[in-house]
Amino acid sequence: MLLGKILSSFILLTGTRHIFAGIDATGFKITYASEYYTNRAKLRRKKYSKLSIGADVLQQIVCSIKIRRAPTRHDNIDFSPMITKISKIKSLSVVVADKAYDSEDNHVLVREKLHALSIMPPRYEQVPVWKTRGRYRKEMKREYNKILYNQRNKDETIVSVIKRLFGEHITSTLVRMHNRELTFRCIAYNTHRMVKLVVMVMVSTQPLNH
């Protein structure tokens, strides 16, 4: 709980008024776990942990995460709790996610309850509009703003930086420590990102020498 609050507090330091949220998921290998702990935790078929992140893609700051053992159910199950949690930090402007999160319920949550724009392309592009279920899914099938949607790529950038800085293996041997390790990595990433944002502001405000 405390680590989650620390993680979500970073976006407040940026001074942003609205969060442009992007949702994505990635896997972290747990092959460093010893055979003893692997067997005891019954992880023979669970070779990695799935990290879902909800980030402000404009600031590239992680706002909320969810960690599950993989293989697990569809990533979509984490959309609603994550985006609701992010909306309690700051109001949302836009929410983007890939086809894995295509769901009319997700659109309804974002648009009608959280009063933001949702962009999640439909999974089955070959299905005609009239056979597509849901008002907002039909809208996505007809047209959506590609420029806004492409901001989702910054989620992948965040994941790439986390893995580049801290690796894609989980080093903890105890299963209960996996969540803490990944959470600390996200906190460390946010700290790294905040330093870069501060430096960018300092450089942009320095007077030019003539």
Q: What distance in Å separates the CA atoms of residue 81 and residue 50, rounded to the nearest whole number?
A: 16
Q: What pLDDT shows up at residue 78?
A: 93
Give Dmax (Cα) for the chain. 68
In this predicted structure, the answer to whether residue 129 has a pLDDT above a threshold of 80 is yes
Q: Please report which confidence band the pLDDT of residue 154 belongs to, taking 50, 70 and 90 as the band edges.
A: very high
Geometric angle at alpha carbon 134, from 130 and 139, rounded to 5° = 70
Tens digits of residue pLDDT in 7-28: 999 999 999 999 999 999 999 8
Strand-pairing partners, residue 67, are 51
pTM above threshold 0.85: yes
Question: Chain-centre distance of CA 105, in angstroms?
Answer: 18
Question: Chain-centre distance of CA 118, in angstroms?
Answer: 15
Read off φ and ψ for residue 116, nearest 5 degrees.
Answer: -130, 170
Geometric angle at alpha carbon 191, from 185 and 193, rounded to 5° = 100
Strand-pairing partners, residue 92, are 19
